[in-house]
Amino acid sequence: MRYIGIKVLKLIFLSTILVSCVSNERKLVPSTPQEALTVLLEGNKRYAEDVSIHPNCDIERVKETASHQKPFAAVVGCSDSRVPIELLFDQGIGDIFVIRTAGNNLSGKMVMGSIEYAVGHLGVKVLLVLGHGACGGVTSAVQGGEHHGNIGLLLQSIQQDIPEYIGRVELLDEAIMEHTYVQVDKILSNDLIKEKVANGELLVKAAYYDVNTGIVEVK
């Protein structure tokens, strides 16, 4: 029995090593916008099925990216703690340029400046605007009411994007997606973005993350 117990421990140890090796797997960099989108969606599928491989997450990758970055994708997402961008796409260090604001809202030139940097300087091939279920920012904007300070300004900005949904909480999911579409339209109105899209160098898409299932759907 003691011999069998030792063998079991050895098997557990070897399994741990194998899992560690998988988690340090290197992923090839996508060469086209469509390939980049496919890599993101394949990663999300692994995440939602609980078989993530956690690529590019070890100290070797830290050292490799210390002097430069070359992400293949950019995601404009919400600050919500339930929407961990790299995790839900099963990507690692240096893979995704992440821009997060409450309600994935693009109000202000600084957010657009970050997007221009990702596209123009880093050369990302796909840009997702990622809305999500149960978004607190959009929920508060739709509910209406009085809010003070910078929170009030944030909610006013969201309300300006989707005025037809104010007071219509029963249409919350629709409002969240519509707000995401509006942000995509804002991005596509940018001259740099328009040029990259027209040249086939960039895809810009709206997407929705289901906080109940972990699944991302590109719209």
132, 211 Cβ separation under 8 angstroms: yes
What confidence tens digit (pLDDT) does each residue in 26-70 have? 567 899 999 999 999 999 999 999 999 999 999 999 999 999 999
In terms of pTM, does the model score above 0.75? yes
Could you report the per-residue pLDDT of 78-131, keeping only the tens digit for each? 999 999 999 999 999 999 999 999 999 998 889 999 999 999 999 999 999 999
Burial class of 178 by CB neighbour count within 10 A (0 to 12, 13 to 18, 19+) = middle
pLDDT attached to residue 145: 83
Q: How far apart are CA 33 and CA 44, in angstroms?
A: 17
Contacts of 107 (CB under 8 A, 6+ apart): 154, 157
Provide the domain count of the chain.
1
Query: Which residues constitute the domain of residue 115?
Result: 2-218
The phi, psi pair for 58, rounded to 5°, reads: -100, 180
Q: What CATH number does the domain containing 123 carry? A: 3.40.1050.10
Using CB atoms within 10 Å of the CB of residue 40, give its burial: 0 to 12 exposed, 13 to 18 middle, 19+ buried: buried
